[in-house]
Amino acid sequence: MRGASNALAARPELLVTGYALTTRRRPEGFLPPGVTAGRAYPAVLALRSWGWGLRWPTAEWLSGRVDVVHGTNFVVPPARQAARVVTVHDLTAVKFPDLCQPASRRYPDLVRRAVAEGAWVHTPSAFVAGEVVELLGVPADRVRAIAHGVDKVVATGRSGAAHRYVLALGTVEPRKDVPMLVRAFDRIAEGRDDVRLVIAGADGWGASALNDAVAAAAHGDRVVRLGYVDEARRAQLLADAAVFAFPSRDEGFGLPPLEAMAAGVPVVTTAAGAVPEVVGDAARIVPVGDESALAAALAELLDDSTLASLLVSKGRARVAGFTWEACAAGLASLYADAIACG
């Protein structure tokens, strides 16, 4: 939520301090201008301590005296006096634990404990807010849906790529279901010799399933895997893509499709979690896990330039409604309520 940190720091009524639960770097290494650096603490030790019900390290030890502490990724520190807010991005750990690593499966219990101690919950979508109420038993009046913003996608324009390509972005993990995308692409590759599938993102756990799908594909030689790419390369890949594909199985928001819209790329996505709420009618939406429907939608956008242009136009209009300034305004209001109500 770096974009939110920037926007929060720009609000004159707020003084923002950052802390880090990490083993890799100090908080000042990634904080935007205007945000004071607090302390870093090893994430493993913090989660173990809080999982045992211990109340150390506290928010005040990490950030100094504050009115409210916001845990932006499922976990919020205990506090002596400060009000607390925790962001729940999704509840995949509850609904599909097989798609999560063991550490992530602990998050729901940590959220429940924080709420029992008075914390408020921020979610990026109304979809997740409803799930938090239903699946975690959190009172609805303690949950606030505030959408993320979308950063501008800055590229130098189309670079004249030798082939058209369908693009997938993000860490390769089971929840993203990239193997299904490979199979869907393989269905439509015949007769479209100029089209490639480009997959950019580091290998996460479960990447062997993607390796197997590529090896089994008749057109696996036209699947390009780039691994991790930096922001500049990511922006250029978006700018050059013919179609952006998002075959996820569960999402609490769905930022990559919005980034593709910001870059002027037509989007095909599954109806995973909050994605339909986020993309509206600006993308082609297919059922989760429906390989045939995904293949048909890819083929349609590759072959129908009129439809592709229509979705690009709708996408640009859609993404304009997601700004970090609006996100920061919503969070500032949530902080004020959390402080006032305790």
The percentage of residues in the chain with a pLDDT greater than 90, rounded to a whole number, is 62
Q: In this structure, what token pair is assigned to residue 156?
A: 């130098």
- The predicted-structure confidence for 86-103, as pLDDT tens digits, reads as follows 999 999 989 988 888 887
Q: Report d(CA 183, CA 226) in Å as an integer.
A: 18
Q: Report d(CA 236, CA 105) in Å as an integer.
A: 35
pLDDT tier for residue 12 given thresholds of 50, 70 and 90: confident
Residue 26 has pLDDT above 60, yes or no: no
> Mean pLDDT over residues 187-203, rounded?
94
Residue 340 has pLDDT above 80, yes or no: yes
Q: Report d(CA 65, CA 63) in Å as an integer.
A: 7
Distances in Å between the Cα of 90 and the Cα atoms of 122, 124, 252, 340 are: 11, 9, 4, 27
Q: How is the chain split into domains, by residue range?
A: 2-149+323-341, 164-319
pTM over 0.85: yes
CATH 3.40.50.2000 fits 164-319, yes or no: yes
Q: Report d(CA 249, CA 192) in Å as an integer.
A: 27
- The predicted-structure confidence for 30-48, as pLDDT tens digits, reads as follows 666 667 766 665 566 666 6
Q: In this structure, what token pair is assigned to residue 18?
A: 């950052």
Q: Report d(CA 176, CA 179) in Å as an integer.
A: 9
pLDDT tier for residue 74 given thresholds of 50, 70 and 90: confident
Looking at residue 155, its pLDDT comes to: 52
Q: Name which CATH class applies to 2-149+323-341.
A: alpha beta
Average confidence score pLDDT of the chain? 88
Looking at residue 78, its pLDDT comes to: 82
Q: Report d(CA 187, CA 295) in Å as an integer.
A: 7
- In this structure, how many other beta carbons lie within 10 angstroms of the beta carbon of residue 276? 17
Considering only residues 40 and 315, tell me which one the structure prediction assigns the higher pLDDT: 315
Considering only residues 298 and 92, tell me which one the structure prediction assigns the higher pLDDT: 298
Looking at residue 10, its pLDDT comes to: 83
The reply to whether 2-149+323-341 and 164-319 are identical in fold is: yes
